Copies of this chain bind each other. A is one copy, B any other.
Amino acid sequence: MADRVKEILGWYGSENPGTLTNLYRMLDHGTLAGTGKMVILPVDQGFEHGPARSFAPNPPGYDPRYHFQLALDAGCNAYAAPLGFLEAGAAEYAGRVPLILKANNSDSLYGGSDPIPAVTASVQDALRLGAVAIGFTIYPASAARNDMYEELRELTLEAKEAGLVVVVWSYPRGSGISKQGETAIDVCAYAAQIAAQLGAHIIKVKPPTEHIALDAARKVYEAQGIRVGTLAERVEHVIQSAFDGRRIVIFSGGEAKGVDAVLEENRQTALGGGFGTIMGRNSFQRPHDEAVKLLRDVMEIHRTTWPG
């Protein structure tokens, strides 16, 4: 199995040994160690949605240490969170779970049609906290997209020089696109491509729908007969759009939902060649043991399900 990890590292041949080492640490950690698959626990909802909406359904989650422990108990490959949440446990859990420092964040107290998160942490913070990676959200289709791309460029160069991994959340959103277009298959595939072109090592996108949003794209999808009927097919297309499968692409879990829906979505993702999932609310909002079970079930799917 570790051959698969070696193969994946080979895709990142331009990176220095420091970055390869940290990428290895993520791929070699937890339940999915050595499989080339990844299930990551992200907890930025406290910042993004507010504390009660995030943690009241499972109050132990108010304590930042809970999530380090959950990631550890479930055997996640990594735990991703904003500065404060990582600071509050990084010393106590030092070295026990790979950390991704989420370097930009938005809150919900101010709206606006063209979102841009605040940059809330730096590469220096990631290094002092012992993190293996920085995480960064871009919103293609926002009027402010260039600002995000340029912030990311600077952080990415700095991160790579420091031997860190770069994880990009690529979520089209803003006045350039409709609500429905945000998860359209052509848009999700484009979002994965943009993140890859910007130098991301690991890319997180939303599970795409069958909708095609851009006229110029629709012509090509039809002319070339690109199959997007099932989620597995769409995932396959997104993976192909991220350098023909030579970049790690994982899919977000989205809103809290039932266990069966979560499992089925992951099965489709795995069938399409997806590398795993990054699942927040569906894990930490459940009671601890339920969450561990669900995460392990999802991992089992990814460990055992491979494209046709």
Contact = CB atoms under 8 A, between A and B. Distances in A.
Interface size class of A (residues with CB under 8 A): 35 or more
Contacts of A150: 118-120
A197 B145 contact: no
A47 B197 contact: yes
Contacts of A105: 197
Given A84-B199, A87-B14, A124 B157 contact: yes
What is the copy number of this chain in the assembly? 5
Given A50-B214, A51-B241, A84-B199, A119 B153 contact: yes
Given A143-B112, A146-B116, A226-B56, A51 B193 contact: yes
A304 interface: no
A150 B175 CA distance: 24
Contacts of A109: 140-141, 145, 172, 176-177, 187, 190, 214
A162 to B, nearest CB: 13
A88 B14 contact: yes
A233 to B, nearest CB: 13
Contacts of A121: 153, 199
A221 B186 contact: no
Contacts of A217: 50, 52-53
A296 to B, nearest CB: 25
Contacts of A82: 197-198
Contact of A197 (B85, B140, B243): B85
Contact of A196 (B59, B84, B198, B240): B84
A116 B111 CA distance: 17
Candidate in A59, A116, A149 with the most chain B CB atoms within 10 angstroms? A149
A42 to B, nearest CB: 13
A264 interface: no
A90 B118 CA distance: 33
A187 B107 CA distance: 11
Contacts of A124: 157
Given A15-B87, A118-B153, 10 more contacts: A47-B197, A51-B240, A57-B220, A62-B243, A63-B244, A64-B243, A85-B243, A107-B194, A110-B142, A124-B157
- Top-3 shortest CB links A-B: A13-B91, A110-B176, A63-B244
